Amino acid sequence: MTTKGNLINGEWVVIDKTFNDINPSDTNDIIGTYSTAGEAEVSAAIDAAREAFKTWQFSTPQQRFDVLDAAGTEILARKAELGALLSREEGKTLPEGIGEVTRAGHIFKYFAGEALRAHGEVLDSVRPGVKVEITREPVGVIGLICPWNFPIAIPAWKMAPAIAFGNTVVCKPAELTPGCAWELADILNRAGLPKGVLNVVFARGSVAGPLLIDGCDGISFTGSVPTGTRVRDAAVAKGKRIQCEMGGKNPVVVLDDADLNIAVNSVLNSSFFSSGHRCTASSRIIVTEGIADKFVEELAKATKAIKVGDSRADGVQMGPIASQEQLQIARDAVAKAKAQGGAIVAGGEDLTFGTPGYYYAPTLIDKTTPDMEINKEEVFGPVASVIRVKDLEEAIAVANDTEMGLSAGICTSSLKSAETFKRRIQSGMVMVNLPTAGVDYHVPFGGRKGSSYGPREQGAYAKEFYTIVKTAYQFAG
């Protein structure tokens, strides 16, 4: 099997030290072998990006549009192929994998347009004959630290705006899912980017993190709260621009007046699709007493009916957990919840199929209380817990009782209750009668409290992180 290298200064650099990309649906299946970057390679990538920025910052909007648009076109043309790769290496079902690739293509198309929509302002000064210009300029070299759960969409929504606004990039993808990042780098490299504008290094976080924080002008991070907190603190200490998207312990409230089918389907999607590997997944289900018994009964029935299996097999609704480590986290969380008094009404056990994989049954735990660890710590797997409350007031209080605040949902037929919830919930995103996971590519993404730090990602709001505002005065006579 040919070893795939790191993209540094427009060249694929192969190193003797390697690691394998493993299929979580079949751990005997080695998808590819990749070069492990060390300090020398990460430093070289940063130096290449620094040199390329000298000219790329002055590239024309048309040049940036052409590259991003061409990349988006190729991604969309290859969505079936790339979707199959994504499902094979991350464990999403094939429709989910193709859907994520499609989103990545749309992101590049969107930011191609943003490159042409760079706006400024011209104001009259309070002083006669003086003109004021307000413009935006690129930040410089941006370090991207990406997670494994959306291995093409998240690199896309970081790379695309960085390049669109004239920055250069050093990207560190997750070691668990290198294939999609390599393909994305290859597409952009062939789309016409000058050498050094995009660099991709497959390095351990402990190796790449400190070097990126030292050598880049800005860091965009997506990952866990503990790691993100360390990255944030180190970057702030050095005066670097920083953007962190971290965890979620997202609530969905189901009120007595909710449409039962809508509520069950919304929660089922939020909690278990993509094996729960979504920071916007709803893992705390807060249900009012009048509907609780019937809702839990129907949700448990629907949870047990989810078809689990190889991520690329026809009809499979949930693939494996992405790694042995994540599987163990789910096992431990369920065991602890049970020991603390939770009642497992669906799932709670490993599953076995024809191939060795990290299979776990989607798990629903009833009779939990807000103070249980299952309702405090992010599991990041197909595990959801039910908290019973008496009314909307208590539901909002319980929903807000968390150190995180990324996404939240409510299922209700009352416009008043929906409006009250939207206004009072402490989260960056709110869904009404919809799954908590699933945000369009052209709108801002981010949360509050411990979930996010810095400007929002995606959409027009991305420019707040990837550009710097300059105010210029000129005497016009």
Where in the sequence numbering do the catalytic residues fall?
A: 245, 279
Q: By C-alpha distance, which of 474, 459, 455 is closest to 219?
A: 455
Strand partners, 218: 142, 241
- Give the separation between CA 389 and CA 329, rounded to whole angstroms: 27
Q: Assign 231 to helix, strand or coil.
A: helix
Taking each continuous run of H as one helix and of E as one strand, the counts in the chain are: 14, 23
- Alpha-carbon distance 69 to 106, whole Å? 9
- Burial (CB count <10 Å: 0-12, 13-18, 19+), residue 322: buried
Q: Which residue type does 1 have?
A: M
Bridge partners of residue 220, in order along the sequence: 144, 243
Residue located via tokens 């880049």: 216
Is residue 90 within 8 Å of 149, Cβ to Cβ? yes
387 close to 230: Cβ distance less than 8 angstroms: no
Distances (CA, A) of 58 to 42, 53, 131, 360: 25, 8, 23, 51
Q: By C-alpha distance, which of 209, 204, 342, 213 is closest to 283?
A: 342
Q: Do the Cβ atoms of 170 and 214 come closer than 8 Å? A: no
Which residue is listed with tokens 């980017």? 193
C-beta separation of 266 from 438 below 8 A: no
Query: Residue 173, SS3?
Result: coil
167: helix, strand or coil: coil
User: CA-CA distance, 197 to 374, in Å (whole number)?
Assistant: 43
Strand partners, 449: 404
Give the contacts of 356 (CB within 8 A, at least 6 positions apart): 26, 27, 28
**Residue 339 CA: distances (Å) to CA of 56, 312, 362:** 57, 35, 19
> From CA 400, how far away is CA 389, in angstroms rounded?
14
CA distance 131 to 118: 20
E strand map for 9-145: 11-13, 18-23, 26-35, 121-124, 130-138, 141-145
How far apart CA 452 and CA 243 sit, in angstroms, is: 8
Give the C-alpha separation, 21 to 202, whole Å.
12
